Each structure stands twice: as structure tokens, then as C-alpha cells.
């Protein structure tokens, strides 16, 4: 178990297009394990590698439902549909929450830690979390999509990514 330090905004790495992973080795597995531990430690539902200072297209998502932990390496969005608007936060912006509109459905392709390609479909909150994390890998922060920032009394049950 290793909890990494989270990079908070502003930081150059957070607004940078991350590099593709080319080596699916033990080190990658360790990074994924540490990212999971870090996400859990800080009560997040997702975490992207640049948020722990790594220039790599790696993200984890776990919204604590039956989907379990989703590990995404070099993820690509294949399809997006619909629209949803809801509250969003980010572990790199402690205490900041806002309403963000995103596609309601997403279909992605990514690799797992062993280098096996998979596709995944998601809707609603899971789709939101996945798209938030993939945005991180392109240096896109949720603040660029916030339509309205939320006040403390509107934050019941909102989690960070
Ligand atoms: Co985030």
C-alpha cells in the first residue's frame, strides 16, 4: 500500500497531454495499485496519473458499484451519446465543486495492466467519472466545463475525481 501525494492545481502536469504507455510491466502494476490506494485514501471515485505527477495515459475509476475498479491505460473514446448535468469535483481542486454537462453514455476502448485491450460501456455517473479521467489525460480540467460552481450547502454526497 502506497498513498502518493496528489498534485493540486495549478501545476503544469495537470494541463498537459500525457504520453501513451508503451511498457506493460511490473512498474505499471505498482503505479495502478498506488493510484487505487491514493484514490481511496482521499475518498475519490477516480484518479488520473498526472494527478500523482506522472506523464502517462493511466487512470482508475471506482464509483463503488457493481462495476468494481476500472483500470484504463491508453483509453480512447469510441462513442458518446446523450447529455447529463450534475455536480462534479476533483481531487486536484480540494473543496471546489461545480455543475458539469457531459454525454450520458460513453463507450471506450482501453488496455488493462496486462496489455489486453477491452471495450467498456458506461452511463450516467460512471460515464461521468470515466470522461472526467480521460479529460485529465488530455490536460483538460473539469473547471473548463463548469457552468455553475456549487456552494457548501449544495454539496451533500458529492465526491471528487
Ligand atoms: Co479530477
Whether the CB-CB separation of 91 and 6 falls below 8 Å is answered with yes
- 133 carries an active-site annotation: yes
Residue 69: inside a domain: yes
Structure confidence by residue, pLDDT tens digits, 48-87: 999 999 999 999 999 999 999 999 999 999 999 999 999 9
Q: How far is the CA of 90 from the centre of ligand 1 (A)?
A: 4
pLDDT given for residue 158 in this prediction:
78
Q: How far is the CA of 95 from the centre of ligand 1 (A)?
A: 12
- Cell readout for 88 is 462534479
Tell me how far CA of residue 149 lies from CA of 67, 100, 126, in angstroms. Answer: 29, 9, 21
Q: How far is the CA of 103 from the centre of ligand 1 (A)?
A: 17
- Other CB atoms within 10 Å distance of the CB of residue 125: 16
Q: How far is the CA of 92 from the centre of ligand 1 (A)?
A: 6
pTM above 0.85, yes or no: yes
Residue 3: inside a domain: no
Catalytic residue among 71, 133, 159, 161: 133
Query: Which domain, by its residues, includes 71?
Result: 12-154
- Domain count for the chain, please give it: 1
The CATH number that applies at residue 112 is: 3.90.45.10
Amino acid at each position: 500500500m502506497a498513498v502518493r501525494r496528489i498534485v493540486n492545481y495549478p501545476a503544469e502536469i495537470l494541463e498537459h497531454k500525457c504520453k501513451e504507455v508503451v511498457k506493460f510491466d511490473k512498474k505499471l502494476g505498482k503505479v495502478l495499485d498506488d493510484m487505487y490506494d491514493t484514490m481511496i485514501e482521499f475518498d475519490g471515485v477516480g484518479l488520473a496519473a498526472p494527478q500523482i505527477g506522472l506523464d502517462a495515459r493511466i487512470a482508475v475509476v471506482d464509483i463503488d458499484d457493481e462495476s468494481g475498479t476500472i483500470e484504463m491505460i491508453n483509453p480512447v473514446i469510441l462513442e458518446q451519446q446523450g447529455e447529463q448535468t450534475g455536480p462534479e469535483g476533483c481531487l486536484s481542486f480540494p473543496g471546489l465543486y461545480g455543475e458539469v454537462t457531459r454525454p450520458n453514455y460513453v463507450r471506450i476502448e482501453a488496455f488493462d495492466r496486462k496489455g489486453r485491450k477491452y471495450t467498456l460501456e458506461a452511463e450516467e455517473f460512471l460515464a461521468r467519472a470515466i470522461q472526467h479521467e480521460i479529460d485529465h489525460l488530455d490536460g483538460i480540467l473539469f473547471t473548463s466545463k463548469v457552468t455553475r460552481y456549487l456552494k457548501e450547502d449544495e454539496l451533500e454526497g458529492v465526491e471528487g475525481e
